[in-house]
Amino acid sequence: MKIPLRKLQLYNIINNLIIDLPSPSNISYIWNFGSILGICLIIQILTGIILSIHYIPNIELAFFRINRIWRNTESAWWIRLIHANGARLFFIFLYIHIGRGIYYKSYNLIHTWIIGVTIFLITIATAFLGYVLPWGQISFWGATVITNLLSAIPYVGNHLVLWIWGGFAVDNATLNRFFIFHFLFPFIILALIIIHLFYLHLSGSNNPLGLNSNLDKIPFHPYFSFKDLLFIIIIIIFIRIFILLFPFLTFDHDNFLPANPLVTPIHIQPEWYFLFAYAILRAIPNKLGGVIALVISIIILYTLPFINNSIQSIQFYPIHKIIFWIFSIIFIILTWLGAKPVEIPYIIIRQIITVFYFIIFFRIPLSNYFWNKYIY
């Protein structure tokens, strides 16, 4: 029987990109988080499409429509829980994925890394837009505070804020725009992931030794495809247990109240996965300086391939290894500080840790110079 040309081409693409893809034989389970992120994104897109059928982007109806999804829509409660908790789990895997890239210097694959950081930035924007949609107290005030940060931009800041709001306050136009972009951004992320995988397959995957060699590679299937499948099954079981036993563990209790522009919550804070950047923002007394520090704290990831490309992997370099784990501890401390109020002693601690956060990135080229000149 003659196979249609289109099906044959599709089979060849799948065979080259997945089945016969040459992969380093020594990569560990920490490399599975890339495929896990892809599965999580698909789950988020599917559950998001189902929820969007029932959602109404109107400030008078959005909060109560979400409650109706919880209470009255058949089987929608667990879809909503999967979507909300899946976003939080997505960021855990994303930070592990980025941390692995830093630890094993995967950013030496420059094109793959640049696309990956871009995916990270758009994912942050998507998560923020989605957090506004339930239209609870924290949703409303979080949107107000975060969008107001743009007013710190000289000359055009205030006009930019009004343009994003679609008026003189966060209102119907704002919610409608946020809903549209929250729906569209995941498909942009999906397209960028395809480009990300294209460059990854073009250059080959990194490995724990950091050696970009074609001498010790094996086919992706079945050696790594079954590892991915096992990991995916474990994650799905974990998500199921988590949403049944701890469905609201990471929810802010103020967000169970409908948005009220006349009542400001005592403590406004974003989701936990944004707290490190929020702590850096509040560490700077000047509003414009805080916004600049917040932006730099994320986009500085773009610079890693250019400031730290003298070695292949930090696994066997004690100085770089210590720097990485210090950076990880600083990240965790900043996340903890982001949830603390603006008062003594948290203000001072936040400023000190923020300084250390940026020193780590500026110290990387210096440690490379020291290692190459005096040790290596």
Closest among 340, 331, 352 to 284, alpha carbons compared: 352
Percent of residues in the chain assigned helix, strand, coil, to nearest 5: 70, 0, 25
> Could you say which of 23, 205, 297, 313 is catalytic?
205
Q: Would you say 130 and 119 are in contact if contact means Cβ atoms under 8 Å apart?
A: no
Rounded CA separation 47/44 (Å)? 5
> Could you say which of 111, 217, 221, 227 is catalytic?
227
> Could you say which of 111, 201, 321, 340 is catalytic?
201
* Residue 216 appears among annotated catalytic residues: no
For the chain, the distance separating the N- and C-terminal CA atoms, rounded to the nearest angstrom, is 62
Go through the chain and tell me how many residues it has.
376
> Could you say which of 228, 297, 313, 367 is catalytic?
228
For residue 22, the cross-strand partners are 219
DSSP H helices, 106-136, are 110-132
* Residue 228 appears among annotated catalytic residues: yes
- Beta-carbon neighbour count of residue 206 at 10 Å? 24
> Could you say which of 271, 297, 313, 367 is catalytic?
271
Which residue shows structure tokens 């700077």? Answer: 284
* Residue 227 appears among annotated catalytic residues: yes
Enumerate the active-site residues: 201, 205, 227-228, 271
